[in-house]
Amino acid sequence: MRGLLTAVLVLQIGLVSVLAHGGEDDAVYLNERMQETKKKNASYYCKLVGVTDNLYHYKVYFLSGEIKMEGWYTDAEMKTPQGIFTYYYQTGQVESKGEYKEGEKYGIWQRFDRYGNEKPEKIYAFLPMLREIDKAKE
């Protein structure tokens, strides 16, 4: 009976570990620049969590299992970000959030320090919009 209880406990601990890490077996590993790499060189791993209207919803995690980033891409290879993104500190506190358009940061991005205090916002001009403004000036 004692052996059975030990086996059940070990099985539960293993299951909790897999759930906490999101089941890394089907994960794609990323380096510190969020580019695909081998597991031994990874700082993060990511998972596709959904597809809607031709957009791919990804979540990126620290190797220890905490969320690092959540956002949408126009492609399964995570080359062109599109839409709302949120980045996190390892503590789970939001680091920044904002929008991408056609792969470029766009508009006002909110930023926070590790304690949740607001930092100055950053404003990103949309590159095609700047080109149109330049053409209009000519």
Could you tell me the pTM of the whole model? 0.73
Task: With cut-offs at 50, 70 and 90, classify the pLDDT of residue 125.
Answer: confident
Bin 103: left if φ > 0, else alpha if -120 < ψ < 50, else beta: left
pLDDT tens per residue across span 7-54: 333 333 333 333 334 455 679 999 999 899 999 999 999 999 999 989
Average pLDDT over residues 86-115: 96
Q: Is the pLDDT assigned to residue 6 strictly greater than 80?
A: no
Handedness of CA 42, 47, 48, 49 (dihedral sign): negative
- What are the C-alpha distances in Å from 20 to residues 8, 23, 74, 89, 115? 18, 8, 28, 17, 24
Query: CA torsion sign, 45 to 49 to 51 to 57?
Result: negative
Q: How far apart (Å, rounded) are the C-alpha atoms in residues 74 and 117?
A: 32
Give the separation between CA 9 and CA 26, rounded to whole angstroms.
Answer: 25
